[in-house]
Structure 1
Amino acid sequence: MRIRNLALAAVFFGAAAAAAWFVTRPEPFAASHWEGLGAPDLANGEQIFWAGGCTSCHAAAKSEGEARLVLSGGLPLNSPFGTFHVPNISPDETAGLGEWSLAEFGNAMTRGVGRNGEHLYPSFPYGSYARLTSKDINDLWGFMQTLPKSANVAPPHELPFPFNIRLLLGGWKLLFLTDQSRVTVDTSDPKIARGQYLVEGPGHCGECHTPRNALGGFETNLWLAGAPNPEGEGRIPNITPGSRSISGWSESDIVGYLQTGFTPDFDTVGGSMVEVQQNLAKLPAADLQAIAAYLKAVPARE
């Protein structure tokens, strides 16, 4: 009887483990999802590149000018879960993404699935990039192929147990990965709709400006309401209309800040926002106006 019970228990736990793996397994898009997109629009790809802030993490620290386009990786990102090291995403065939296909790149960006079918850590903000259209992914990929190569090999992540077990990320994705809108705004206004796409998608503003729960998922009722600085010092500000610091800013004030780095009081951008502002300043004025319209439209949080 005891042997029979042990056998039944083994079967039960085996079935449970198989079921858990099935519902949390990596799920890239089918190959057909990335077919038929045509030649990339490199000008649009460059705009998505700057909106996405690729250089802020993937270029060498304190890079300026053309050096910001060398996506050599290696930057350490400290977090409560350990230290992540940003990968080389230059077109280098060995150290970077030179041998990757559009589908492999697109599945990493939007599904958090690596080239070898593994879950990627959400320190790479695919939870936001999941909203990118296939066209924008194709255009971005095309633009990135024009950038300089780097042979730098980034070190591996430094993560303690159990965070070093990638299979657990399937459960995280089940709970938190979505391509749905973060908040409800009036998307009948095309300017607000465009702003929502830019802020919630390539701009991934919520990754820093929204607080997280113990599992690293967003506290969705506090979208853009400010959060502890992921780098460990200070706090990332509230950028909703309920913020005490920017609630009085007009849409034109926000646009001016993103274009110049100056606040309406002639203070200057600081901290990690310096590079973000420099990246966003390269976008067309219409996109900056859309971002401003969206930020004035999101639910106010005090």
Structure 2
Amino acid sequence: MKKPILFMVAALALPGAAFTALEQWPIGNEPQLEALEGVPDRGAYLARMAGCIACHTNVAGGGKPLAGGLALKTDFGTFYSPNLTSDKEQGIGAWNIDDFVQAVRQGVSPEGKPYYPAFPYPFYAKLSDQDIADLWAAFQTVPPVDEPSILQDLGFPFNIRASLKIWRGLFLDSTGFKPTGGKSEMWQRGQYIVEGPAHCAACHTPRNILGARQAELNLHGADKLPDGGKSPDITSKALKKRGWDKDGLAYALRTGLTPDGDVFGGSMGEVVRDGTAFLTQEDREAMAIFLLDLDE
């Protein structure tokens, strides 16, 4: 009788031990950010480029800028964007720049917990130290909003945040920006924007069953977005086949109008409205140059 009991105790203890090990597994690296002076205006520009306003403002619900509350429905459950205002209790007002850089570039909270990859931190890993300093300076100017963040509504086992550490070990690519040699400055600028802050591949790349991007199909479009829509293939071959050129693509990123007179709908319409419409013409052209020449 003793052996079966011992086996039962072991069977119950092992999952508990595994969970404890996951909880104790440290992630992230100590920030090595130099003492740089941030430029708020440049940070505000980067925030538009990175989609911070679009994702952290519940426009339809009448929410205040960057106060969070925007719902993102997925197969894993519903994610809600958190409050990023300077409120010390509900926002990030009690953070310091080290907390900020670890969250933005590494996806790790000030408490050492992993963020869900609905937050596109793998792309923000390509931001430079100066970018981070500028963004931090800009966020210091955001008025505080005493609005608590909504808890993520996820089912088991996705509600176990510690399990994300396994996901990170399997799929996370947090390499910094590496410009491709032999290309023009405009092409490289477009590469930085598309692969970094604008995180175009987040929506235009299909994902596997665990929600990780399929790197071999980068920018080939996705059949299932969180809002139930689809994203088109935006490789250069596909764009040119559909009649896009540099001027048309840059114009669409400013206005949302396509060459055939149609308009971007769904989440891409929001990307233009809250993001790319605020970029300089030069940056929109840089994105177009990069995308139209990416796989040639």
TM over 0.5: yes
Q: Structure 1 residue aligned with 2:234, among 233, 236, 239?
A: 239
Contact 1:185 1:297 in 2 (8 A): no
- Aligned-residue CA RMSD (Å): 3.0
**Separation in 1 of the partners of 2:133 and 2:38?**
6
Matched, 1:99 2:94: yes
Distance verdict in 2 for CA 1:161–1:97, change over 3 Å: same
TM-score (norm 1): 0.85
- Matched ranges for 1:1-302 at <5 A: 21=22, 25-31=25-31, 33-37=32-36, 39-62=37-60, 70-180=65-175, 188-243=183-238, 247-278=242-273, 279-299=275-295
How far did residue 230 of structure 1 move? Answer: 2.1
Contact 1:187 1:193 in 2 (8 A): no
| Deviations, residues 235-265 of structure 1 (Å, cap 9, x unaligned) | 1111112326864211111111112222122
Contact 1:181 1:200 in 2 (8 A): no
Contact 1:182 1:220 in 2 (8 A): no
The code of the aligned residue for 2:54 comes to S
| Deviations, residues 51-95 of structure 1 (Å, cap 9, x unaligned) | 01111111122389xx77x21111111111111111001111111
**Separation in 2 of the partners of 1:136 and 1:77?**
27
**Separation in 2 of the partners of 1:121 and 1:207?**
13
How far did residue 17 of structure 1 move? Answer: 5.1
Distance verdict in 2 for CA 1:176–1:154, change over 3 Å: same
**Contiguous gaps of at least 5 residues in structure 2:** none
How far did residue 21 of structure 1 move? Answer: 4.7
Distance verdict in 2 for CA 1:120–1:154, change over 3 Å: same
**Contiguous gaps of at least 5 residues in structure 1:** none
SS at match of 1:77: strand
Contact 2:106 2:174 in 1 (8 A): no
**Separation in 2 of the partners of 1:284 and 1:246?**
27
The percent identity for this pair of structures is 38
How far did residue 185 of structure 1 move? Answer: 5.5
Distance verdict in 2 for CA 1:95–1:181, change over 3 Å: closer
**Separation in 1 of the partners of 2:178 and 2:30?**
28
How far did residue 194 of structure 1 move? Answer: 1.3
Contact 1:26 1:113 in 2 (8 A): no
